[in-house]
Chain A
Amino acid sequence: QVQLVQSGAEVKKPGASTKVSCKASGYTFSAYGVGWVRVAPEQGLEWVGWISADSGNTDYAQKFQGRVTMTTDTSTSTAYLELRSLRSDDTAVYYCVLVIAGSPFEYWGQGTLVAVSS
């Protein structure tokens, strides 16, 4: 069965960077993409962007352009989200999702809390 297992919670200071991992299993990793969605406290779901595991092509939400980098390691079936220049309003739970063209997000990781605080 499809599983997406994310790295553990992190606490970061403003201006720092974070790199969250998402290890996939149960499907052919390079056949699909991995997306990232976040939920900040008292906020709704927010789309961050996605990466094609096959081509490495990325599509980032405009809000995060210049601060975000998504990568994949096909040898370990792992996707990564790096967010730089962290601010307090980046405090959120970040979820990875399996991206299949034309399909909704049926498979989600368990979420990774990134807390930004001085």
Chain B
Amino acid sequence: EIVLTQSPGTLSLSPGERGTLSCRASQSIRPTYVAWYQQNPGQAPRLLIFGASSRASGVPDRFSGGGSGTDFTLTISRLEPEDLAMYYCHQYEVSPWTFGQGTKVEI
């Protein structure tokens, strides 16, 4: 199976700061099949990014995704207090579909 390794485990930022989350895959993935989710405490995950760089409906433009091959990133350009959450990358190209272990963004 494709293993997704996220870094850092925890990202501490101040409001207004820029932060970059990394997701490295154990083998090459087509960007079409890479997504990022945000999970707030007590809530279901929310789709943020699909196709590596496309924002899902209603997602603020301070969130952006990129990457190719085995390395993908999620960037929060200007951190807002409501961005405190866990963030997960996900590949849906190869079965079994897999998730990264998550990055916690703390304010």
Contacts and interface: CB of A to CB of B under 8 A. Distances in A.
Contacts of B88: 44-45
Interface string B57-101: 000000000000000000000000000001010101001111111
Contacts, number: 56
Interface in A37-77: 37, 39, 43-47, 49, 59, 61-62
Contacts of A104: 35, 47, 50, 90, 92
A14 interface: no
Contacts of A109: 44
Given A45-B102, A103-B92, 10 more contacts: A39-B39, A44-B100, A45-B99, A95-B44, A102-B92, A104-B90, A105-B90, A106-B47, A106-B56, A111-B44
Interface of B: 1, 32-33, 35, 37, 39, 44-47, 50, 56, 86, 88, 90, 92, 95-102
Q: Which 5 A-B pairs have the closest CB atoms?
A: A104-B35, A108-B44, A45-B99, A44-B102, A44-B101
